[in-house]
Amino acid sequence: MNNFPEFERQGYQVERELGSNRAGGRVTYLATMIASGQPVVIKQFQFVKSDSSWSDYNAHEREIQVLQGLKHSGIPRYLDCFETPDGFCMVQEYKDASSLGVTRSFNADDIKQIAVSLLGILVYLQNRIPPVIHRDIKPENILVDEKLNVYLVDFGFARVGDGEIGISSVVKGTLGFMPPEQIFNHQITESSDIYSLGMTLICLLTATKSNEIGQLVDTNYRVSFKHLVPKLNFQWVKWLGKMVEPRCTERYLNATAALEAIPAHPIRLPEAKFSHTNLEFTAKRLGENLTQVITVKNAVPETMLAGRWEVAAHLSDPPHNPSYHSWISVQPLDFESNQAECKISVDTSKLMAGKIFNRQLLLHTNSLRETYCLNLEVQTAPIPIRTKKLPVSFLSIQFLLSLMMSWIISWSVLISGTLAGYSATAGLGTAAGAAVGMQAAAWAMSAAGVKMGATVAAIAGAALGIVTLAMAWTGTLAVAGKVAIVGAVVGIVGGLIIGMVTGIAVENLIRRRLSKEFALWLSLLTTAAGSSFGLCLGTGFLNPLILGAMALTSLPLAATLIYLPLRKVRLIGDYRQAEQHLIKP
């Protein structure tokens, strides 16, 4: 047994209750028209059972009068009315749709479609003569079905034509949706409904409940909602902001103006995603053109990403404009696509060699983040100056080995010669043995296919042989004996080792792309300098001839080692001077 009223005499069977406002004496039922089976909505006004006033009765009469003259697919049609013992009933077309006052999920494009549909309904109302002003647009009075068909209901506060209205007739509405002129009993216009519609759309976009919408309005009746819609297209923010301007003269004058001004852009903003956030270019040749491709994608469906590239200004770059840069270019410069392939090109011919350049690319978009910044790093090719780079560490080893062997030889000769009393003879024998040892090293390397090593060892041995003959010519070979034989043995071993070291050094220098002549000279000079130092260590720096030999070999070696780096520095300085017209990092 239900407590639904019986309207069979009037031709209707009540199915269920749809909603009620008991304090206001209004109850809404879903019913069936008995004759046709058509579902209808019956709005019962119980004036006797409630504390309703004559203004509520007038509202009922006004709604019937307004609805009788309206024929629009977005407004449920008026069908019938009849009296009851405690009031009146009005019958309307039933729409299987829920009000926006019920929490539902809409995406941004759905809300755009709802806005366009509601504006279409208001255009119809405002184009009537005289125009119809609803005056109570809010989420609870808007129905939306599953196919996004939109219906405007509850015309109880509607007014035909512009005019003034007292506050007593609208206190049952939600104050947050009334424009200031309606609250203060000033003349209402077609723009008054625009304000209410704007507040309704803000409710949907910010998920704000109807009874909380007033929290977005400050003491100057300004509506603060931008912070609640960070991903809303700024064009839509601007459009909504104009709809809810406190001064009616600053709003859209009517629904036609608001509909014409509705942004063509999607209601949501796109969002750019990059395949790279840092671009690194490395040139291998001077003046090389370098290219990389970066992909820019839109992460928000049903929106279109538009962008324009620009190179950020830099103190070292020549003046440029957003469309042109002297050495960085982007193709395409402008794009409108949800997946854009952009080619970044760098012309290094205008840049200094051997430098690192850091620049920034700016992408101006229609997305939430209007400008994106990408880092670009360019490493230009090395300075085209190639000087011989000496293997100092290897030459140092060669020098030390020669020094050690010469020191051992001189020490052995000095000891054996001093003990026997024939130091000159021992020295002569050692020199001869060293010459033979170097020749033996030359023969061994020649047999092994090390031709340049064999050559330098042979030259060293021949030079030492000439020195030995000179010593013999002066008559120092007075006594041969055992002392000369010992010196010769030591000399052969030492000469063999020194010859091998010198030959290997030459081959190594040639492999390092030094010329054969320079490698030969440098290897002999290093061996000679090391050997002279070793002899001085062995004799205690007392022999003036050995000291002279040390000076004659070490000074040219030092000059050779210093000359090449100094020459490179000078050449680099000359090249940098010639680069003054090029762009600096």
530-539 pLDDT per residue, tens: 666 766 776 6
Question: Where exactly does CATH 2.60.40.10 map onto the chain?
Answer: 272-379
pLDDT of residue 418: 46
Range from 110-124, 149-163, 230-244, 305-319 carrying the lowest mean pLDDT: 149-163
Q: What is the model's pLDDT at position 331?
A: 93
Beta strand residue intervals within 153-305, DSSP E = 159-160, 272-274, 278-282, 289-298
Residues in contact with 529: Cβ distance below 8 Å, sequence separation at least 6, in sequence order? 399, 402, 550, 553, 554, 557
Query: pLDDT digit string (tens) for 488-538?
Result: 555 555 555 655 666 666 666 666 667 777 776 777 677 666 666 766 776
In this predicted structure, what is the pLDDT of residue 151? 97
Q: How confident is the model at residue 105, as a pLDDT?
A: 84
Most confident of 260-269, 335-344, 402-411, 466-475: 335-344
- Lowest model confidence (mean pLDDT) among 7-11, 83-87, 174-178, 543-547: 543-547
| 206 or 54, which is more confident | 206
Asked whether residue 474 carries a pLDDT value surpassing 60, the answer given is: no
% residues pLDDT > 90 (the chain): 35
Q: What was the pLDDT predicted at 170?
A: 43
pLDDT of 482 = 47
Tokens linked to 257: 């103006």
Res. 329: pLDDT tops 90:
yes
CA–CA dist 14, 30 (Å, integer)? 6
pLDDT at 498: 58
Q: How does the average pLDDT of the chain come out, rounded? A: 78
pLDDT digits (tens, 9 = 90+) for 148-192: 999 999 888 888 765 444 444 444 446 889 999 888 878 889 999
Least confident of 114-128, 204-218, 493-507: 493-507
Q: Across residues 361-369, what is the average pLDDT?
A: 86
Region(s) of the chain under CATH 3.30.200.20? 1-94
CATH 1.20.120.10 given to domain 98-268: no
CA distance 458 to 436: 9
What pLDDT is recorded for position 341? 94
pLDDT on residue 38: 94
- Greater confidence, 101 or 474? 101
Residue 202's pLDDT band (cuts 50, 70, 90): very high
- 270: pLDDT confidence band, cut at 50, 70 and 90? confident
% of the chain residues with pLDDT over 70: 68
Predicted pLDDT of residue 141: 94
Q: Which has more confidence, 127 or 559?
A: 127
Q: Pick 231 or 451 by higher pLDDT.
A: 231
Helices (H), 421-474: 423-447, 451-473
| Amino acid at position 10, single letter | Q
Residue 323: per-residue pLDDT: 86
Most confident of 101-105, 193-197, 388-392, 425-429: 193-197
Q: Where does the chain hold its CATH 1.10.510.10 domain(s)?
A: 98-268
Contacts of 296 (CB under 8 A, 6+ apart): 272, 273, 274, 275, 305, 307, 335, 339, 340, 342, 363
What average pLDDT does range 305-328 have in this prediction? 90
The pLDDT, as a whole number, for residue 412 is 60
List alpha helices for 390-422, DSSP H: 392-420
Task: Round to whole Å and give the CA distance between 409 and 396.
Answer: 20
pLDDT at position 205 over 80? yes
The DSSP annotation for 271-338 comes to -EEES-SEEEEE-SSTT-EEEEEEEEEE-STT---EEEEEEPP-TTSPP-BTTB-SSEEEESSEEE-S
The owner of tokens 């039922």 is: 29
Fold held by 1-94: Phosphorylase Kinase; domain 1 (3.30.200)
**Superfamily classification of domain 272-379:** Immunoglobulins (2.60.40.10)
Name the pLDDT band for 257 (thresholds 50, 70, 90). Answer: very high
| 471 pLDDT more than 70 | no
pLDDT at 360: 94
Q: Which of 57-66, 140-149, 340-349, 480-489 has the lowest mean pLDDT?
A: 480-489
Amino acid in the structure at residue 455 = T
Give the global pTM. 0.57
| 441 vs 96, more confident | 96
**Which pLDDT score, from 0 to 100, does residue 458 have?**
56
pLDDT at 272 over 60: yes
The total of other beta-carbon atoms located within 10 Å of residue 318's CB is 10
